[in-house]
Amino acid sequence: MTSVTDHAAGAFTGHAASTDAPSAARAAPTQSVAITGAERELRLDLFRGLALWLIFVDHLPPNIFTWLTFRNYGFSDATEIFIFISGYTAAFVYGRAMRSRGFVVASARIFKRVWQIYVAHVFLFTIFLAEISYVATQFENPLYSEEMGILDFLKQPDVTIVQALLLKFRPVNMDVLPLYIVLMLFLPLIIFLMQRKPDLTLGLSVLIYAVTWEFGLNLPAYPNGVWFFNPFAWQLLFVFGAWCALGGARRMAPLLSSRILLGLALAYLIAAFFVTLTWHLPQLGHIVPRVIEQWMYPINKTDLDVLRFVHFLAIAAVAVYFLPSGWPGLKSPWLRPMILCGQHSLEIFCIGVFLAFAGHFILAEVSSGGAGIHFIVSISGIVIMSAAAWVLSWYKRVAAKSGTDAKSADADADLAGGGS
Cβ atoms of 235 and 205 closer than 8 Å:
yes
Assess whether pLDDT exceeds 50 at residue 306.
yes
- C-alpha torsion angle, residues 374, 379, 382, 385 (rounded to 10): -100
Assess whether pLDDT exceeds 80 at residue 343.
yes
Average pLDDT of the residues of the chain: 84
Asked if residue 253 belongs to a domain, the reply is yes
> What is the pLDDT averaged over residues 96-121?
95
> What is the pLDDT averaged over residues 328-344?
91
Q: Where are the beta strands (DSSP E) in 286-337?
A: none
Asked if residue 151 belongs to a domain, the reply is yes
Domain enclosing residue 190, as ranges? 4-412
Q: In Å, what is the CA distance from 60 to each residue of 66, 191, 265, 355, 420?
A: 8, 37, 30, 9, 12
pLDDT tens string 372-395 = 888 889 999 999 999 999 999 999
pLDDT at 329: 87
pLDDT at 28: 37
Asked if residue 211 belongs to a domain, the reply is yes
Cβ count within 10 A of residue 113: 24
> What is the pLDDT averaged over residues 390-414?
70
Assess whether pLDDT exceeds 50 at residue 408.
no
Q: How far apart are CA 87 and CA 191, in angstroms?
A: 10
Chain-centroid distance, C-alpha 60: 18
Asked if residue 419 belongs to a domain, the reply is no
Asked if residue 73 belongs to a domain, the reply is yes
pLDDT tens string 205-219 = 999 999 999 999 999
Asked if residue 420 belongs to a domain, the reply is no
Asked if residue 418 belongs to a domain, the reply is no
Question: Alpha helix locations (H) across 102-230?
Answer: 103-138, 143-147, 151-155, 157-165, 176-185, 187-194, 198-215
Cβ atoms of 363 and 369 closer than 8 Å:
yes
> What is the pLDDT averaged over residues 115-135?
91
What are phi and psi for residue 14, nearest 5 degrees?
75, 15
Q: How far apart are CA 239 and CA 201, in angstroms?
A: 8
Assess whether pLDDT exceeds 80 at residue 59.
yes
pLDDT at 233: 98
Tell me the pLDDT band of 369, cut-offs 50, 70 and 90: low
Cβ atoms of 320 and 307 closer than 8 Å:
no
- C-alpha torsion angle, residues 197, 31, 258, 244 (rounded to 10): 20
Asked if residue 417 belongs to a domain, the reply is no
How many domains, the chain?
1
> What is the pLDDT averaged over residues 163-181?
92
Stated pTM of the model: 0.85
pLDDT tens string 137-149 = 887 777 777 778 8
pLDDT tens string 220-246 = 999 899 999 999 999 999 999 999 999
Q: In Å, what is the CA distance from 204 to each residue of 197, 231, 242?
A: 11, 15, 13
Across 34-38, 95-99, 258-262, 361-365, least confident range: 34-38
pLDDT at 21: 36
pLDDT at 155: 83
> What is the pLDDT averaged over residues 193-209?
97
Contacts of 46 (CB under 8 A, 6+ apart): 330, 335, 338, 339, 342
Contacts of 302 (CB under 8 A, 6+ apart): 218, 226, 227, 228, 229, 230, 233
pLDDT at 51: 92
pLDDT at 38: 38
Helix and strand counts by DSSP (H, E) for the chain: 19, 0
Q: Report which of 142, 145, 176, 179 is spatially closest to residue 160, judged by C-alpha positions.
A: 145
Q: In Å, what is the CA distance from 122 to each residue of 101, 119, 127, 128, 358?
A: 31, 5, 9, 10, 19
